[in-house]
Structure 1
Amino acid sequence: MKLHVTAARDGRTWFVESAQIDGLTTQARTVAEIPEMVRDLAAMITGRPESDFDVEITFDAPEVAAHLRQAEDLAAKADALRAESARERHEAAMVLKRQGVTVRDIGAVLGVSHQRAQQLVSN
């Protein structure tokens, strides 16, 4: 059973609860402790074995969430820029190839190995 829990930090403790199982509320000192503690408590409440529970944690940290969203946006932009950079490097290699420049010289001009230059003109 996929067991969804929410963890919120208060001082030095993570407070954990689940809406799926009535009374499933616990606390942990570290994030690493949460799944084991939740499985143990869920097993006690339901009478099912701990192995029946696959714990999925959602962190209630609004201040952190905004930073994480920004980081994800920036990572997506960085990925797009890397792809664009690769296309431009390929185009530069192709211009040199059409001019009859050797693969070794293409590599030297682009600042890459001749093996990488070969890959660029082959794609």
Structure 2
Amino acid sequence: MNTLTEEKFLLVNQYIGLLDIIDEAFGHILVSLERKNHHDAEQLWEDVTMAFMQIHESNKVLADHFADQPGVIQQFSQFDFVLEKAHLVQFTDDRFLEILMKEKIYPAFLGWSGQINQQFRPYYIN
């Protein structure tokens, strides 16, 4: 069984919590786009983008803590794929943006988030 120091446990919990918040934000973005509420979707996307940057920076910190776990390290590097998809977003065409969110960015995030959750699960679930 993998055990964590209190510091690592808190870091992992905060990290997973941030992923859950981002997932919820994507749901609100998609609803906003479907309702043609461009302004709300754009503001939420800005929040998600900032959270993505926090994840990117956290990956660097957590990589030091999990250097002996190649699966975790690999998932940290896979986050770059999510960032690539996110850089495609430009709020000009609502329909294009809705398709981009539904078919590219959100699925990329969900796939990656599921994998990193799987890597971290042994650390925070008994």
Shorter-chain TM-score range: under 0.3
For normalisation by structure 1, the TM-score amounts to 0.26
Larger-Rg structure: 1
Q: Identify the structure with bigger relative contact order (alpha carbons < 8 Å, sequence gap 6+).
A: 2
> Which of the two has greater helix per residue?
2
For normalisation by structure 2, the TM-score amounts to 0.26
> Which of the two has greater strand per residue?
1
